[in-house]
């Protein structure tokens, strides 16, 4: 990792500078050469599974569907659902694999040479059209397969948790807030994210240094989805109180009169009189 990158991040952010000093040199390394279809198929296999289980499924997939080599899109489409399920893929993952194969043959998922020439956001836009592939999956591919230097996965739980720990916060930052703060790390946000992952390791080991200065997070208006979710939460919390008030009012309210217009006087019943009395 270039010392120029670490010097840039350290000068831009004193708290991150302390974290860099505590962790040491960055060991962000690229994985094997990126073949988009293969990388995304592996990502689908790993979804919601630990590494050991996912690798077992991939080995069965390679041995059965690919006859010892990683299957091609044509092989995936020619394979029966039963054989893909026998490898260990769920129904949802079988559908995702077939959609990935379809979109690879249609060139929506491009070859590696074409992918390398595209910008980060264009890659995200194209690949997230594949069933089962979200932004986070593509961001991991950008960082660890394509070596893109300026990726900040703000929805990643580890990155948000590392930021909370390193910056001495009581709760996780919202993704929008983390994105706004991370603007100072451009154009090396991938390296900053790697150090935030390491912050959790230092915290667990009791070796995380306190933040070099008090942090004041930027004020960011929530997006439409976040605002709508906050409104739903407020309504959910208020609903029991409204029900209690309504039930209390109905139990103490006088019974409603039947018949007649509201506000009309009730006719008084005639008084009983003793026999022989005058009217």
CATH number, domain containing residue 127: 1.10.340.30
| Residue 262: predicted pLDDT | 43
* Number of domains into which the chain is organized: 2
**pLDDT exceeds 70 at position 100:** yes
Q: Average pLDDT of the chain? A: 86
Smallest Cα–Cα separation from 54: which of 30, 90, 28? 90
Catalytic entry in 63, 120, 150, 156: 156
Average pLDDT over every residue of 193-201: 96
| Domain ranges, residue 201 | 3-28+151-205
pLDDT in tens, 13-25: 999 999 999 999 9
The pTM assigned to this predicted structure is: 0.76
CA distance readout (Å), 232 to 81, 101, 241, 245: 40, 38, 15, 20
Clarify whether 63 is annotated catalytic.
no
User: For 248-261, b where at least 16 C-beta lie within 10 A, e where not — what string?
Assistant: eeeeeeeeeeeeee
Residue 180 lies in a domain: yes
pLDDT in tens, 232-255: 766 766 665 555 555 554 444 444
| Residue 219: predicted pLDDT | 84
Q: Does one domain contain both 41 and 135?
A: yes
């Amino acid at each position: 990792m270039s010392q120029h990158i670490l010097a840039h991040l350290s000068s831009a952010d004193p708290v991150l500078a302390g974290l860099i000093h505590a962790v040491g040199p960055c060991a962000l390394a690229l994985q094997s050469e990126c073949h988009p279809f293969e990388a995304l198929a592996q990502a689908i296999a790993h979804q919601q599974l630990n590494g050991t289980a996912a690798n077992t499924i991939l080995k069965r997939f390679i041995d059965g569907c690919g006859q010892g080599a990683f299957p091609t899109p044509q092989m995936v489409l020619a394979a029966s659902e039963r054989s893909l399920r026998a490898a260990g893929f769920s129904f949802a993952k079988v559908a995702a694999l077939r959609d990935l194969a379809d979109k690879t043959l249609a060139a929506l998922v491009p070859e590696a040479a074409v992918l390398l020439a595209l910008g980060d956001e264009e890659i995200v836009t194209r690949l997230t059209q594949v069933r089962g592939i979200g932004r986070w999956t593509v961001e991991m591919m950008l960082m660890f397969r394509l070596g893109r230097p300026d990726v900040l996965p703000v929805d990643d739980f580890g990155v948000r948790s590392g930021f909370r720990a390193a910056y001495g916060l009581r709760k996780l930052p919202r993704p929008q807030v983390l994105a706004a703060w991370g603007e100072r790390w451009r154009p090396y946000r991938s390296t900053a994210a790697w150090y935030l992952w390491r912050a959790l390791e230092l915290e667990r080991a009791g070796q995380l240094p306190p933040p070099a200065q008090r942090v004041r997070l930027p004020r960011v208006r929530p997006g439409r989805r976040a605002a709508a979710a906050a409104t739903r939460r407020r309504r959910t919390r208020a609903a029991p109180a409204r029900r209690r008030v309504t039930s209390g009012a109905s139990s103490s309210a006088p019974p409603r009169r039947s018949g007649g217009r509201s506000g009309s006087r009730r006719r008084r019943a005639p008084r009983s009189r003793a026999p022989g009395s005058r009217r």
